[in-house]
């Protein structure tokens, strides 16, 4: 074939080859783009789902808070008069007790028929037992009432949402004074390791933040009961935006279910009477009100770690 | 303009005038002629090719575009038969172009710069208002003719309002006989 008379199909063939290469390139580019878009979408979707979950959780906590406030308010009134009546009854009993003692003292001086009548009545009514059991009953009742009072108090603390007294505070000082407060709780040989870095003062309500630390440390001390080398490690740190507190224990740790519910009011794994399940709910609420965050990670039989982050530049508004 | 339009134009030329003719047309316009359906190419390229075809065949542009429109319909139908299959008759097919077909095109390509159609039913006549920066109303007419053939419909197409006469849209009246 001569040069000036090229086969038109050969020319077309070369063109088609280039076209095919271009088409394949295009397919690859589009596939890559599609893959990337898909990844972006998956990521966004993932983000949305977790945001939704945390929103639902927040909503649940808020609803429970309102409910708690209502319950606390309603219980408080009857609690007040029941407590005052019980205290009055306690006094009445001591009046009655004096009378009974007088009877015992003068029993033998009475004429025989009067003495017998009284003794029959004492037996019938089991007055001896009543007299000895009443102080017991009273004490238990008053203890119970005191427990109810504490629960109501923590509910009211939980739902009270004014900002309270805020000031520029050094959190390290708060941590140290809180630890003094729980000395007795930490008696059973718990080692407390502090790693407190220099912190900028932050604008917060110090007694509330101390309460958060207290609640966490008390929980940790419970988790450390009968554990080998019980240790609580508290560290503080600051980056350019936040102050960070971590409180770590090597206690029993918690299950995924507990971890999931730890900030829910009334959620407790402790026996009735020992825990109200409000400690962490209150902590969560306080930290949220300070526009901070509180996170917890835990592994069964290894331990638990709380991380609190509080913004440095939180102004009063 | 979508690459498939170039592909079909190439096929039309090769089918009617042979491979050499297409090679010559490309050579005359200076384009490489590498068109894939997944890409878009400058409108001027299509217009320059059409102009060259007019020269070679010695016919006017409107005729070339009109014939091409009819042929284009058959080729698009061969590639994407579902749109015709989805429609029971020509009228419902034409009405589906703006939303259904262009909707599908939008799923595949970004920025395809599609023409817009709006419709008015006047008894035996379907009035189609066409707007497009490309002003390819003659191509649209050809496509409608191709569609009419495909559906075995006997229609008259008139074009009383045209962007080429200064109007802001073209009006294509499809009268069913
Ligand atoms: N450091 C920890 N290690 C293991 N489990 C923990 C720890 N801290 C909290 N928990 C779990 O979280 C639950 C909820 O804690 P929270 O402080 O809210 O309530 P509580 O301690 O049960 O009762 P209280 O209201 O008296 O504090 C606990 O019952 C416990 O199961
Ligand atoms: Mg607790």
If asked whether residues A68 and A128 sit together in one domain, one would say yes
Could you tell me which residues come within 8 angstroms of residue A3 by beta carbon, excluding any fewer than 6 positions away?
none
Q: Cβ(A202)–Cβ(A169) under 8 Å?
A: yes
Q: Which of B6, B18, B23, B40 to mutate to test the interface with A (most CBs of A within 10 A)?
A: B23
* Residues from chain B contacting residue A17 (CB–CB below 8 Å): none
If asked whether residues A208 and A229 sit together in one domain, one would say yes
Say yes or no: CB of residue A280 within 6 Å of ligand 1: yes
Alpha carbon of A211 to ligand 2 centroid (Å): 11
If asked whether residues A214 and A299 sit together in one domain, one would say yes
Cα–Cα distance between B5 and B7 in angstroms, integer? 5
Nearest to B20 among A8, A15, A22 (CB): A8
Is residue A14, in this structure, part of any structural domain at all?
no
**In which domain, by residue range, is A139 found?**
62-157
Residue A19 to residue B34, Cβ atoms within 8 A? yes
**Long-range contact pairs involving B8-14 (C-beta distance under 8 Å, separation at least 24):** B8/B68, B8/B71, B8/B72, B8/B75, B8/B76, B9/B46, B9/B49, B9/B50, B9/B53, B9/B68, B10/B35, B11/B75, B12/B67, B12/B68, B12/B71, B13/B53
| Strand A242-249 to A231-238 pairing | antiparallel
Instruction: Tell me which of A65, A268, A278, A303 to substitute to probe ligand 1's pocket, judged by most ligand atoms within 8 Å of the beta carbon.
Output: A268
Could you tell me which residues come within 8 angstroms of residue A19 by beta carbon, excluding any fewer than 6 positions away?
B34, B35, B36
At residue A166, the pLDDT reads 82
Say yes or no: CB of residue A262 within 6 Å of ligand 1: yes
* Mean pLDDT for all residues in chain B: 93
Q: Which of A179, A154, A22 is nearest to A75 (CA)?
A: A154
If asked whether residues A215 and A243 sit together in one domain, one would say yes
Residue B33 to residue A15, Cβ atoms within 8 A? yes
Q: What is the pTM of this model?
A: 0.54
Say yes or no: CB of residue A277 within 6 Å of ligand 1: yes
**Which tens digits make up the pLDDT trace of A87-120?**
899 899 899 999 999 998 998 898 999 899 999 9
Closest Cα in chain A to B31? A15
Say yes or no: CB of residue A247 within 6 Å of ligand 1: no
If asked whether residues A66 and A199 sit together in one domain, one would say no
The ligand that comes nearest to the alpha carbon of residue A276 is 1
If asked whether residues A190 and A215 sit together in one domain, one would say yes
Number of structural domains in chain A: 2
At residue B107, the pLDDT reads 82
At residue B92, the pLDDT reads 94
Is residue A22, in this structure, part of any structural domain at all?
no
Residue A27 to residue B38, Cβ atoms within 8 A? yes
Is residue A96, in this structure, part of any structural domain at all?
yes
Q: Cβ(A252)–Cβ(A300) under 8 Å?
A: yes
Alpha carbon of A238 to ligand 1 centroid (Å): 27
At residue B55, the pLDDT reads 94
If asked whether residues A183 and A103 sit together in one domain, one would say no
Q: Measured between CB atoms, does B108 come within 8 Å of chain A? A: no
At residue A317, the pLDDT reads 39
* Residues from chain B contacting residue A18 (CB–CB below 8 Å): 32, 34
Q: Measured between CB atoms, does A34 come within 8 Å of chain B? A: no
Q: Measured between CB atoms, does A5 come within 8 Å of chain B? A: no
Helix, strand, coil distribution of chain B in percent, nearest 5:
55, 15, 25
If asked whether residues A182 and A305 sit together in one domain, one would say yes
If asked whether residues A146 and A170 sit together in one domain, one would say no
Q: How far is A207 from chain B (nearest CA, A)?
A: 59
Q: Measured between CB atoms, does B27 come within 8 Å of chain A? A: no
The owner of tokens 């770690």 is: A305
Q: ipTM of this predicted complex?
A: 0.78
The owner of tokens 């007040």 is: A80
Bridge partners, B173 (sequence order): B127, B158
Is residue A220, in this structure, part of any structural domain at all?
yes
- DSSP, collapsed to helix, strand or coil, labels residue A170 as coil
Helix, strand, coil distribution of chain A in percent, nearest 5:
60, 15, 25
Say if residue B90's pLDDT is above 90. yes
The ligand that comes nearest to the alpha carbon of residue A278 is 1
If asked whether residues A239 and A303 sit together in one domain, one would say yes
Residue B34 to residue A27, Cβ atoms within 8 A? no
Bridge partners, A122 (sequence order): none
Is residue A37, in this structure, part of any structural domain at all?
no
**Which tens digits make up the pLDDT trace of A65-89?**
777 777 888 888 899 999 999 989 9
* Residues from chain A contacting residue B4 (CB–CB below 8 Å): none
Instruction: Tell me which residue has its CA closest to atom 14 in ligand 1.
Output: A268
Averaged over successive runs of 10 residues, the pLDDT of chain A (317 residues) comes to 71 92 91 92 90 76 74 86 91 91 90 91 92 91 89 72 73 88 77 94 88 92 93 95 96 95 90 82 90 95 97 64
At residue B15, the pLDDT reads 94
């Amino acid at each position: 074939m001569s040069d000036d008379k090229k086969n038109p199909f050969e020319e077309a063939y070369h063109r088609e080859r280039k076209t095919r290469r271009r088409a394949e390139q295009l397919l690859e580019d589009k596939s890559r783009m599609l893959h990337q878009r898909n990844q972006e979408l998956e990521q966004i979707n993932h983000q949305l789902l977790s945001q939704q979950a945390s929103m639902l959780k927040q909503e649940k906590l808020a609803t429970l808070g309102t409910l708690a406030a209502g319950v606390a308010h309603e219980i408080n009134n009857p609690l007040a008069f029941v407590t005052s009546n019980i205290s009055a009854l306690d006094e009445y009993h001591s009046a009655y007790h004096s009378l009974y003692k007088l009877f015992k003292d003068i029993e033998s001086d009475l004429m025989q028929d009067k003495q017998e009548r009284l003794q029959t009545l004492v037996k019938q009514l089991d007055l001896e037992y009543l007299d000895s059991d009443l102080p017991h009953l009273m004490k238990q009742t008053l203890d119970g009432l005191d427990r109810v009072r504490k629960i109501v108090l923590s509910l009211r603390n939980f739902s009270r949402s004014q900002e309270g007294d805020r000031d520029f505070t050094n959190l390290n000082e708060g941590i140290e004074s809180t630890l003094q407060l729980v000395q007795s709780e930490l008696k059973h040989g718990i080692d407390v390791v502090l790693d407190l870095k220099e912190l900028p003062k932050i604008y917060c309500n110090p007694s509330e933040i101390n309460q958060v630390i207290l609640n966490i440390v008390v929980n940790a001390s419970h988790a450390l009961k009968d554990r080998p080398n019980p240790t609580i490690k508290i560290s503080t740190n600051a980056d350019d935006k936040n102050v960070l507190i971590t409180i770590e224990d090597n206690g029993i740790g918690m299950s995924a279910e507990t971890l999931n519910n730890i900030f829910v009011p009334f959620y407790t794994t402790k026996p009735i009477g020992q825990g109200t399940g409000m400690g962490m709910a209150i902590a969560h609420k306080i930290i949220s009100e300070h526009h901070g965050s509180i996170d917890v990670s835990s592994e069964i039989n290894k331990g638990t770690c709380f991380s609190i982050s509080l913004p440095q530049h939180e102004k009063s508004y | 303009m979508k690459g498939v339009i170039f592909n079909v134009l190439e096929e039309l030329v090769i089918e009617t005038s042979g491979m050499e003719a297409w090679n010559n047309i490309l050579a005359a316009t200076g384009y490489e002629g590498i068109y894939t359906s997944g890409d878009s190419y400058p409108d001027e390229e299509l217009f320059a090719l059409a102009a060259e075809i007019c020269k070679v065949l010695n016919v006017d542009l409107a005729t070339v575009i009109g014939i091409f429109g009819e042929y284009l319909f058959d080729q698009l139908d061969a590639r994407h038969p579902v749109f015709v299959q989805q429609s029971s008759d020509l009228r419902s097919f034409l009405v589906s172009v703006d939303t259904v077909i262009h909707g599908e095109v939008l799923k595949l390509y970004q920025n395809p710069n599609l023409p817009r159609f709006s419709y008015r039913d006047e008894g035996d006549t379907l009035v189609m208002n066409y707007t497009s920066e490309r002003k390819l109303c003659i191509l649209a007419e050809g496509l409608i003719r191709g569609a009419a053939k495909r559906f075995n419909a006997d229609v008259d197409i008139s074009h009383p309002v045209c962007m080429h006469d200064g109007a802001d849209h073209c009006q294509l009246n499809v009268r069913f006989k």
